[in-house]
Structures are given as structure tokens and as C-alpha cells.
Structure 1
Amino acid sequence: MAQPIPNPNPILPDDPEYLPIHTRNYEVRAFKVNDNEILLWGAVRDDKPAGMYVLEDSETLTIHHMVVQLRVSYPMMEILDASAELKEFPHKECPGIGIKYKGLIGLSIARGFTHKVRELFGGPRGCTHTTALLQAMGPVAIQCGWSMRVVKMTEAFETGAERPEMTPEQREMGFKSNLNTCHIWDEEGEQVRKIRAGLDIGAPLSVTRRLEKLGRDTGEWGRVRG
């Protein structure tokens, strides 16, 4: 599979006509290790504009930079290994807290993860910025579940393998981590009702729009990914 091309569309609009005073960036990337494991990389970085803290300095000043790596089992979504590195920090004592994040091992990164992270590492029990990063990484793991299934279906399509019919239990497992995470995934709602009935919920709107822009058949998603 080809390496991803960076998205050319900026997340934020152009800066307003005000003095910039702080920028925080989160980035989380996920990789398929094998059919049973996902690797998550996450980073958070706080930057101060050039010349703000150090007068007449031409370079942006990084105040915080934390990196977290998680190895996660699939489809169980249990954390197999974890590391937290504080690469840039304001106090020399800061990095000592990194080892505590080994306590993530064995946790589910699906249901209840955000609450458990706050319980274990909130406030004086951890690093504020590393903990905030972890809370941003949890939803990415859920998105990876969809990606892993899409990769599997694409591989089957490309090899001509027969696509097995999903049992009701397999369908339930496939979206279990999404249940009650938002109004669309209300377990009593229309989306969940359709999936449980084995009905097609269609392609994500972004996929449909992209296929239309490329002049391709919007039914491609269903034929390849099911």
C-alpha cells in the first residue's frame, strides 16, 4: 500500500490580524503492525512565537514536546506496551514522570479509556500535557478499527478471495467500541438499527464526495469494501 500523501488542506483558517501568542499542535499516527496489532504514535507540542520569550530571537521556542507510543491488540483494543517521552519541558524534574505511563499496559483503549486515564494520571499523578495527548489518542484507536477492516476487505478484493458473510455477532463486535460515543452511534438509534439488521449504511460522505470529484462510480466503495 502506498505511503500517505500529506493533506494539503490546512485544519485552521488563516490567522486573524492579531498578535499570535501560543500554538499547540497534536499529531497522532497509526500503523498496522500485523493483523492483530496496531502501533499508535502521538505527539503534543507547545510553541511560543519567535522573539516573545527570548527577545530578538528569530526562531519559534518550543516549551513542551511529549511523545507517546502505544502498541494495541486488535480487535480487543488492549494496550500491550506503552512509552512516554518528554522531549522538551520547562523543569528539569519533568521527565521523571514518563515511566509512570507504563501503567497503561493492560488497559482497554476503547470503552472507558478517557476516564481511566484521568483516574491514573490526572492532576499531580502525571504530566498534564502527556495526559491530554493520551486523551486525544483514544479516539484514533477507535478509528483504526475501521481502517483495519477496510485494509482486510481491500486485500480480499485484490486477491479475488471470497468475502465471508458477517454473522450478527461479528457485526456487533465490529462497531461495539462506537456504541453511545455520539448521537449517531446511540445504541437505540437508526444507524445501529441498520447495522444490526445487516443493512448497508453506505460510504462515508467524504469517500462519496472524493469519488465524485475524481469522476468515479460512487458504488466503488460497496464493491470493494462491502
Structure 2
Amino acid sequence: MPLSTPVQRELLHTRHVTCNGYKRSDGLWDIEGELVDIKSFDLEVAERNNGLIPAGEPLHKMSLRMTIDYDLNIHDVEACMDYTPFRYCPQVADNFRRLIGHRIAPGFTRLTRELLGGTQGCTHLLEMLGVLATTAYQTTHHEREKREDFGAKGDNPPPMLNTCHAFDTKGPVVKQYWPQFHEDEN
């Protein structure tokens, strides 16, 4: 169901976040994200284009690539900041390599804030890490499903149970697909 019809309004800002997951020929995965912010009006910014970012030109255009393995261990990270409001911003890009050796797992958001929060990182790239983590799960899911028992057979519950509304162990999806793990609401 689409959103309701809004009142008359004027578009001022657009943010595009695109994430892609790739399986590499060496058995690893590349998870890439790009964030682009665009204003619909000319924006005065002292350090760009003689003090002006014309409408439609990116205020921000930033990319991240994480290389991960099957277990979601991070092998490499590359950050790129093609458009920023300040020339100083790209100096923080290499800090995102601090994620190398860590794993996408519960607590990942907290870890990223510890390693890259505040003046140690970039707010926009830090936000994008959460979407990249989800993209990593989605990208490797099919492979994981082929290799692991997701609970459709056997005694171990699928790992996605109770992670969202659809996978509520008291709900209809679990009742239909994994009845052995369904719980009555009483």
C-alpha cells in the first residue's frame, strides 16, 4: 500500500543510498554502498566551486566497499569521498579500515560507533555501515541456506526467528513454515 497523498510541498533534498553485494571469484564477497545527497537549490559552501554547489550537483557522494568471507569476517574496507562540503572530510576515509579483522555480528553497530564515531569517522559513512551489514547478510543468505540447516528440518530453530514481525514465533509465517517452533499466544 503506497503512502497517502501529501499536502502540496517543495522538494529540497534527495538522498540516494545504493548497496550491492557481489560474490568474487576467490570465494569472498564485496559489499558496496554509495550515498549521494543532492539539493534542489544552489547551496553556498565556501570550499566548493567558488563558494557554490549548484542545484543537482552532489553535496555528498561517498562510497564504501567491505570485503567479507562466508562467516562475515571483514577482510578489507575501502572508503571514498568524491564529493564533500569541505576539503578536510576525505582525510578520515582511511579510518574505516579499522573494521578489518572484525565481524558483522550482533553488536556491529555499537562496534562501528566505538571505532568510527564522532571525530574518528564520517556521520554519513557510519550510517551506511548498517545498511552494508544488512546487505552482507542478504548477499550471503542463499549460500548460507545451501550450506546450513535453517531449521526447516531438525531441532535447531532458524536463526531469523524473532528478528522481525514476520518471523515472530507466535505468528502465521512461523506456524506455516516452521510449525515445530511455533508458539501459541496463550
TM-score by length of structure 1 reads 0.61
1:33 aligns with 2:15: no
8 Å CA contact retained: 1:185, 1:192:
no
Aligned residues: 173
Does the 8 Å CA contact 2:150/2:157 hold for their aligned counterparts? no
In structure 2, what is the equivalent of residue 182 of structure 1? Answer: 164
Larger strand share, 1 or 2: 2
Deviation digits for residues 17-45 of structure 1 (CA, Å, limit 9, x no counterpart)? 31211111111000111484211110111
Residues 1:32 and 1:24: Cα distance change in structure 2 (over 3 Å): same
Q: Are 1:108 and 2:103 an aligned pair?
A: yes
Which of 146, 150, 159 is the equivalent residue of 2:141? Answer: 146
CA contact (8 A) 1:63 1:89 kept: yes
State TM-score, norm by structure 2.
0.73
1:60 maps to 2:39: no
Q: Secondary structure at the match of 1:92?
A: coil
Is the 1:171–1:196 Cα contact (8 Å) retained in structure 2? no
Residue 91 of structure 2: which of 87, 92, 96 is its match?
96
Give me the CA root mean square deviation.
Answer: 3.9
Q: 1:53 to 1:192 in 2, by over 3 A?
A: farther
Report the AA paired with residue 63 of structure 1: L
Contact 1:25/1:46 (CA < 8 Å) preserved in 2? Answer: yes
Structure 2: runs of 5+ lacking an equivalent: 46-52
| Aligned-partner SS, 1:110 | coil
Identity over aligned pairs, percent: 28
**Aligned partner of 1:136: which letter?**
V
SS at structure 1 position matched to 2:24? strand
Distance 1:60 1:41 in 2: 23
Q: In structure 2, what is the equivalent of residue 207 of structure 1?
A: none
Residue number in structure 1 paired with 2:12: 21
Give the match for residue 77 of structure 1. 72
SS at match of 1:68: strand
Change (3 A) 1:59 1:174: farther
Query: Which letter does structure 1 place at the counterpart of 2:80?
Result: E
Offset, 1:125:
2.0
Higher relative contact order (CA 8 A, sep 6+): 2
- In structure 1, the residue matched to 2:36 is 45
How far apart, CA to CA, are the structure 2 residues paired with 1:68 and 1:106? 16
2 CA distance for matches of 1:172 and 1:101? 40
Compared with structure 1, are the counterparts of its residues 120 and 22 closer, same or farther at alpha carbon in structure 2 (3 Å cutoff)?
same
